[in-house]
């Protein structure tokens, strides 16, 4: 099972407490793939006000930093576990939808 985390959108406050381009939230997507079966989960993480000494403006955010911020707010392993379960169910469904026999 392969997992890919992406961060397709950031919510940015142009000015907050004297700081410019402050990221206040990150939208995330985790996609799990096993062979030809794929499932995803997504959400939003709200960030607390930044410490001015550690502030990183929007233009300097990296994939690694976004991953770190999101991982501090949600259980990424739990998200991956849920997606793995969903992929397994899609690959080997317990029940099937069928058209009526008439």
Q: What pLDDT is stored for residue 93 in this prediction?
A: 73
pLDDT confidence band for 98 (50 / 70 / 90):
confident
List the strands of the sheet with 37-46, edge to edge: 2-16, 19-34, 37-46
State the pLDDT confidence band at 26, using cuts at 50, 70 and 90: very high
pLDDT in tens, 3-21: 999 999 999 999 988 999 9
pLDDT of residue 65: 96
* 52-85 per-residue burial string, b: 16 or more CB within 10 A, e: under 16: eeebeeeeebeeeebbebbeeeeebeebbeebee
How far is the CA of 68 from the CAs of 26, 59, 72, 79, in angstroms? Answer: 11, 16, 6, 15
List the chain domain ranges. Answer: 2-90
Q: By the 8 A CB rule, do 49 and 17 touch?
A: yes
Q: Tens digit of pLDDT for each residue in 40-81?
A: 999 999 999 998 999 999 999 999 999 999 999 999 999 999
């Amino acid at each position: 099972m392969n997992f890919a985390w992406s961060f397709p959108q950031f919510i940015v406050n142009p000015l907050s407490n004297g700081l410019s381009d402050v990221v206040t939230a990150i939208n995330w997507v985790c996609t799990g793939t096993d062979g030809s079966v794929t499932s995803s989960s997504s959400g939003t993480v709200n960030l607390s006000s930044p410490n001015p000494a550690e502030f990183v403006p929007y233009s300097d955010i990296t994939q690694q930093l976004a991953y770190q911020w999101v991982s501090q707010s949600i259980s990424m392993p739990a998200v991956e576990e849920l997606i793995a379960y969903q992929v397994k169910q899609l690959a080997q469904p317990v029940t099937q939808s069928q058209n009526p026999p008439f």
